[in-house]
Chains A and B, each alone.
Chain A
């Protein structure tokens, strides 16, 4: 564990502090590395027992699109990882309604069960956070 958490002894050092962390995903996958490396931070955050939520808005909703096949571009298809998040106790996944609609997508097009929220609901959720990390 200390290798993945960067030598931080999780149990000792956080001493019960639980903060609200929000990861804001606004970029499409593959075109840039932000989505993939952003997801790596999310996975690590699970080890710290924080109150973690993920929001997908703007081109970030494309990260969750079903049917990604990356063989021909020879890049790692990381979309199945979103389905594994539940196993890490990360189950607050929110997708913005407006962003989906603009792109002609619905929740059925996504690889994982999410809660669809309006921009205003996401704004309110964002305002409640202690830490917002955007990738």
Chain B
């Protein structure tokens, strides 16, 4: 089955990004396809490569980049939400790209399930 994922909250502030990540890992383990993760609202902060969590904590941003690298998942950051919050190309972590909200709607059309994680 093909999944699209929407993440609406930033890393660390809320568990949404963590739950989304574990959901995706489990979906991949079961042989499903996750074609895109769309980051909206404060979720755009998941793409900030300047994030430096403490050594003993999980690195949410790196974790996304690794997921994109290993599984070819398209990580899309909403341009309007990103610009509001100062997330620009020069601070994007590997694997992320900035694009329009149409990518979210398209994900809803193409995926068998669109699952929303937020506050």
Contact = CB atoms under 8 A, between A and B. Distances in A.
Interface of A: 3-8, 10, 13-14, 17, 19, 21, 33-34, 37, 40-41, 44-45, 47-48, 50, 130-135
Nearest to A45: B105
Given A3-B100, A37-B81, A48 B106 contact: yes
A134 B81 CA distance: 17
Contacts of B6: 133
Contacts of A14: 106, 109
Contacts of B79: 6
Interface in B64-119: 76, 79-81, 99-106, 108-109, 114, 116, 118
Contacts of A10: 102
Interface residues of B, number: 21
B40 interface: yes
A51 B80 CA distance: 24
A57 B75 CA distance: 31
16 contacts: A6-B100, A6-B102, A6-B103, A7-B99, A7-B102, A7-B103, A10-B102, A17-B109, A33-B41, A37-B80, A41-B101, A50-B105, A131-B109, A133-B6, A133-B114, A135-B8
Nearest to B111: A131
